[in-house]
């Protein structure tokens, strides 16, 4: 059984968006979905031009995970553009910066384990 995914930190606002080629009805288009966390990784790497180490820290993930996320996002966007498919931005495992689902004590990685969970 794989480990549960850890939520990734993104900058807001979060809303579902749809991009499609002009002049083609949506009913005739194939589509792909880009998650909000993959879009955030793409923003940090390409639009903000951050190095992977700093961008990964901002998202609260490891550098290899960030690298995989950026590669996945680039593949999805390129596939949608080349094939003239609709691109929907929706879903993902994330939390908006300033609205952390974890208690402060959860950041003690490598130290004594403590109970962590979503704030209520």
Tokens encoding 94: 């994330």
* Full-model pTM: 0.75
Give the number of other Cβ atoms within 10 Å of residue 27's Cβ: 5
pLDDT in tens, 71-80: 999 999 999 9
**Mean pLDDT for each 10-residue chunk of the chain (120 residues)?**
83 84 93 94 95 94 95 97 95 75 46 41
Q: Give the residue among 108, 82, 80, 92 at the shortest CA–CA distance from 6.
A: 92
> What is the fold, at CATH topology level, of the domain defined by 36-95?
434 Repressor (Amino-terminal Domain) (1.10.260)
Tokens encoding 93: 């495992």
């Amino acid at each position: 059984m794989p480990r549960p995914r850890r939520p990734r930190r993104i900058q807001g606002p979060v809303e579902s968006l749809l991009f499609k080629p002009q002049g083609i009805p949506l009913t005739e288009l194939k589509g792909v979905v880009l998650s909000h966390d993959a879009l955030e990784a793409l923003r940090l790497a390409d639009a903000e031009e951050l190095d992977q180490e700093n961008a990964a820290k901002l998202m609260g993930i490891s550098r290899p995970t960030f690298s995989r996320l950026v590669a996945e996002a680039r593949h999805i966007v390129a596939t949608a553009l080349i094939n003239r498919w609709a691109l929907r931005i929706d879903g993902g495992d994330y939390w908006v910066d300033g609205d952390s689902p974890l208690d402060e004590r959860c950041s003690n990685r490598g130290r004594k384990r403590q109970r962590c969970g979503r704030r209520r």
